[in-house]
Amino acid sequence: MPQFFTPKQVSRAIQVSESSVKRWCDKDIIPTQYTAGGHRRIVLSELIEFLRCSKHEIVRPEVLGLPATSGQSIRVIDRSAEQLAEALLQGDEEQCRRIVLDLYLAEHSISTICDLVFVKAFSVIGNRWQCGDAEVYQERRGCELAMRVIHELHKLVPIPKEDAPVALGGAAEGDLYNMATTMIELVLRDNHWNAVSLGYNLPFHTIEAALKQKSPKLFWLSVNHIANESDFIQSYNQLYSQFGNSIAFVVGGRALHEDIRKQIQYATYCDNIRHVESFAQTLMSAAKT
Amino acid sequence: MPQFFTPKQVSRAIQVSESSVKRWCDKDIIPTQYTAGGHRRIVLSELIEFLRCSKHEIVRPEVLGLPATSGQSIRVIDRSAEQLAEALLQGDEEQCRRIVLDLYLAEHSISTICDLVFVKAFSVIGNRWQCGDAEVYQERRGCELAMRVIHELHKLVPIPKEDAPVALGGAAEGDLYNMATTMIELVLRDNHWNAVSLGYNLPFHTIEAALKQKSPKLFWLSVNHIANESDFIQSYNQLYSQFGNSIAFVVGGRALHEDIRKQIQYATYCDNIRHVESFAQTLMSAAKT
DNA sequence: CCTAAATTCGTTCAAATCGTTCATTTTTAA
DNA sequence: TTAAAAATGAACGATTTGAACGAATTTAGG
């Protein structure tokens, strides 16, 4: 909850001496703000960033008012998805936050967390539902919770610079799933793109307007549901013929099966978030040289 | 008109004690004006100057929740909606955050902010769109931004106690707008309800399951779009006949026009978020006595 | 205009933090 | 292996902070 911490709080949380924390602040290892009287105040996001880059762990998270960790930070990501699925099904917001924050602190990349934890958790939830072990409302509530946690991760990612390359994306008309596109926005920002999600259920004509006005370097389209396939293909191809030369089209989503992929053009098709990340990294380094 | 802040407001904004702010005023670290009765009044520009110059580092206003726009008063809240609409259309996340946090720090209630700022801003955006001054994607991006800010407000609201009365709600099947239901969740939590939004596009059968399993004291249903009216009415009435006696049904949304309202039963119909808040307050105080 | 409720004032005081120094432990390099 | 360099943790008086209090001021309504 709290935005700021004193050196003493931080020192107790990670069990080092207060002196060390103060020294790190002075050496700018932990970027620090100061009160008018000269007392150090450490911002949560800076602390998280520091913890990720150092080998220190939060031994006593309760000192910082952070969700209580079960013990040590999670190095093994496998079981996390199931744990998260359980927490999402139960509607346990604290637990969700704890799992994700722990993984983030353990230096797992955001894209990995998205793929192996979030996406996988919802796959687990889907299976449960098919077995009759979960209600629809549990899945929906889980989506709400997940979106909230994703937004919180968003705040831990540094704000992209003004001159960062622009990326734009969303989910097309008829597609009601905006979690994927929000995750892509998050991961691209984590990779220093100026990424903006336009949300879901986007008519093609407004995508066209957005691409024209913003002229991004990268455009992503998440396709989880297609109302009318031939309409979709026609609209998409018109969009691609207009911008495909100047903008990298990244497409993905479970509705884009092979039949459809054969009929459309794109720069890359991605099965998961890490594919998107890799492509974005390649594109950016190519643009630099 | 110059924008004044009291030491208490400033202290909340920059997360120090009121005593410290007062002391800094007295030491002339923060240039201060005084009322006839000797109360301190801090001008926004001086506050920003203080934060910039205070000791070492430049302050990150977005972290501090620094009020960066106009002050309080009901007159100004009108303009806030237009300012927010502009910021949402531009996709200016920082500005959105500042406007809303500013209003929050000026101690406007969250329900007021929802009604007179968020809802109104989207009404402004709708008008712009009708005049051809705004693209659809700008509105959609605005929704994404607004949701993010609402989630941030969520974090400022204290976690409800375990024994707080339970409230549950969402938007029915075919309804894709979850902003209203997320705002209701937020406001109810602000009123010490254990409120949970199940999201949007909820089939009635899963609402039934949720009500059965959670047995809340209050159930809200946001209705902004109805695919098939007779189906909706039938499903709703079945739900009401099952739970209407034990659970307070709160309904609202622009799709619930008079014709439909005549054919369904509910505890209250709400035109805006403050109505929901009032009803919830009444319900809670009634339950206590 | 007046009253009542809410806010802010000025003050005091205990607790926390500051910067600094120094002995000890850990790491690095010869 | 040994010596130098660097990092750590503890201690100190001086300073800053946050919380409390009755008194004074502002604000909201009738």
In angstroms, the CA of B56 and the C1' of D21 are apart by: 35
Q: Which residue has its C-alpha nearest to nucleotide D16's C1'?
A: A37
Does any strand C atom come closer than 7 Å to the Cβ of A181? no
Q: Give, as ranges, the nucleotides of chain C with any atom within 7 Å of a protein CB.
A: 7-12, 16-21
CA end-to-end distance (rounded Å), chain A: 43
CA distance A7 to chain B (A): 15
Angle at A198 between CA A192 and CA A203, to 5 degrees: 145
Q: Best of A34, A39, A144, A206 to disrupt the B interface by mutation (most B CBs within 10 Å)? A: A144
Q: Which two tokens stand for residue B197?
A: 């939004």
B191, B238, B256 from B252: Cα distances, Å: 19, 18, 7
Provide the pairing of β-strand A40-43 with A4-5. Answer: antiparallel
Judging contacts by C-beta atoms under 8 Å, the chain B residues touching residue A1 are 155
A88, A169, A263, B136, B176 from B143: Cα distances, Å: 24, 14, 32, 11, 12
Find the CB nearest A203 among B91, B136, B182. B136
Q: From start to end of A18-107, where are the E strands?
A: 33-34, 40-43
- pLDDT tens, residue order, chain B (289 aa): 346 788 888 887 787 889 999 999 999 888 898 888 888 988 877 777 787 666 433 333 333 334 333 333 344 566 778 888 999 999 988 888 877 876 776 656 788 888 888 998 999 999 999 999 999 999 999 999 999 999 988 887 777 888 899 999 999 887 778 899 999 999 999 888 999 999 998 999 999 999 999 999 999 999 998 888 999 999 999 999 999 999 999 999 988 998 989 999 999 999 889 889 888 888 887 776 5
- Cβ neighbours around B173 below 10 Å, total: 20
d(CA A200, CA A255): 14
Decide if A209 and B54 are in contact by the 8 Å CB cutoff: no
Domains, chain B, ordered by start: 4-56 (1.10.1660.10), 74-156 (1.10.1240.10), 166-288 (3.40.50.280)
Decide if B24 and A36 are in contact by the 8 Å CB cutoff: yes
Judging contacts by C-beta atoms under 8 Å, the chain B residues touching residue A28 are none
In angstroms, the CA of B26 and the C1' of D14 are apart by: 21
Find the CB nearest B136 among A37, A43, A206. A206
pLDDT in tens, A181-204: 999 999 999 999 999 999 998 999
Does any strand C atom come closer than 7 Å to the Cβ of B72? no
The length of chain A in residues reads 289
CA distance B268 to chain A (A): 23
The length of chain B in residues reads 289
